[in-house]
Amino acid sequence: MGEDRTLHFEQGTALKSITFLRSIRVFNVGLSSIFCIEDSESIIWYHRPQLRNPIFVAAFEGWNDAGEAASDSVAWIVDKFSSQLVAEIEGDTYFDYQAVRPNISVGEGGIRQVSWPRNRIYGISLDDSDRDIVVMLSHEPNYRWKAFCVDILQVISELKCEEIFTFGSMMAEVPHTRPTRLTGIGSERERLDALEVLPSNYEGPTGIIGVLHEYLTQNHLSSTSLWATIPHYVAQRPQPAAMNELLNTFSALVGVDFDTSDLASQAADWVNHVNDAVADDDQAVEYVAELEMRYDSGDFAETYELADEEFPSAEALAAEVEKFLRDQPPEK
């Protein structure tokens, strides 16, 4: 084991102290400096590509990912473009495998294979742009969030990412019949206002995204967090409408053109399916109409609370919608 070292540095007005068991490197990103553990044992590098003005975007499965809209959005980017796996953050350090279990599958010849939860980082070169993208697909860690954020900062530094984005999704009292509302925080608030991304005033328990953005802010890095609101009564996967809004807003912010016509078509079908699911229940129809009235009046809260007793039980409505969608024939 290496020498025990303590590094002191200024953060705002408070003097912080961090103790590492390995040597320290200082990485420069733009005008800021990041203190990272040298050659972190948690990061496995496969390639260190030369990227053009790269943008970093990440989503984390779990608490930050209602309806898996956020993680499915970054997966869409990986699938849509030519991507290369450049690194992973090792899971053993950060996961409780009783909470985030590996999966087992049976392949050819009856050979069984275990697939472990992974924190994957992809490099994507865009042919029609002067910018490239670095995508992180990850689970929210169970342990050592601070060290996990330091590992992410090291990846950002090594790949020289100039802007950092995270996607999240949350259940809210919003109707499925209206465009998905986004909330967000960012280094350049005026850009978000121009795209009608509502400012976030949320206070309360946070996930890894909240912690990561504090680290980014302390290091003076340009960062933005976009959150899609998911109708609480139809919060199961997939969420094509939310994905479409997240990706279109992201592309507008970074100046990269995405063709999301596939998601727009899926979103229209999704709305029709949910309409059919609630149409036979007068209380459900009334409840959705109430949500529409609140939405149209600009009444919006980031915290999700169960509906009043005069409306159908939120859990019962969600169960009905889920059953209806589950019973639909698979798409051809």
Give the chain's radius of gyration (CA, Å): 21
Q: What is the DSSP letter of 196?
A: T
Residue that is last in its domain, among 227, 248, 267: 267
Q: Is residue 4 part of a domain?
A: no
One domain for residues 154 and 115: yes
Q: Is residue 234 part of a domain?
A: yes
Is cis: bond before 238, omega within 30 of 0? yes
One domain for residues 195 and 218: yes
Which residues span the domain enclosing 198? 39-267
Closest by Cα among 163, 167, 158, 165 to 131:
163
Contact predicate 321/234, CB 8 Å: yes
One domain for residues 56 and 151: yes
**CATH value at residue 61:** 3.40.50.10900
pLDDT given at position 126: 86
* Spatial separation of the C-alpha atoms in residues 324 and 66, rounded to whole Å: 19
Q: Is residue 194 part of a domain?
A: yes
Q: Is residue 82 part of a domain?
A: yes
DSSP characters over 114-152: EE---EEEEEE--TTSS--EEEEEEEPPSS-HHHHHHHH
Total structural domains within the chain:
2
Residue that is last in its domain, among 251, 267, 283: 267
Q: Is residue 18 part of a domain?
A: no
Q: Is residue 1 part of a domain?
A: no
One domain for residues 86 and 221: yes
Q: Can you tell me which residue has the tokens 């939860």?
A: 117
One domain for residues 136 and 232: yes
pLDDT given at position 37: 42
Average pLDDT by stretches of 10, the chain with 332 residues: 36 31 43 49 91 96 94 96 93 90 88 90 90 95 95 95 95 93 90 90 89 93 94 91 97 92 94 89 88 86 48 58 60 48
Q: Is residue 332 part of a domain?
A: no
One domain for residues 242 and 134: yes
pLDDT given at position 188: 84
One domain for residues 229 and 321: no
One domain for residues 126 and 63: yes
Alpha-helical runs (H) found in 32-179 = 69-80, 145-158
> Is the whole model's pTM more than 0.75, yes or no?
yes
One domain for residues 165 and 257: yes
Contact predicate 20/12, CB 8 Å: no
One domain for residues 215 and 301: no
One domain for residues 292 and 203: no
Q: Can you tell me which residue has the tokens 């779990």?
A: 62
Neighbours of 327 (CB within 10 A): 8
One domain for residues 174 and 301: no
Residue that is last in its domain, among 221, 244, 267: 267
pLDDT given at position 307: 42
pLDDT given at position 308: 44
Q: Is residue 293 part of a domain?
A: yes
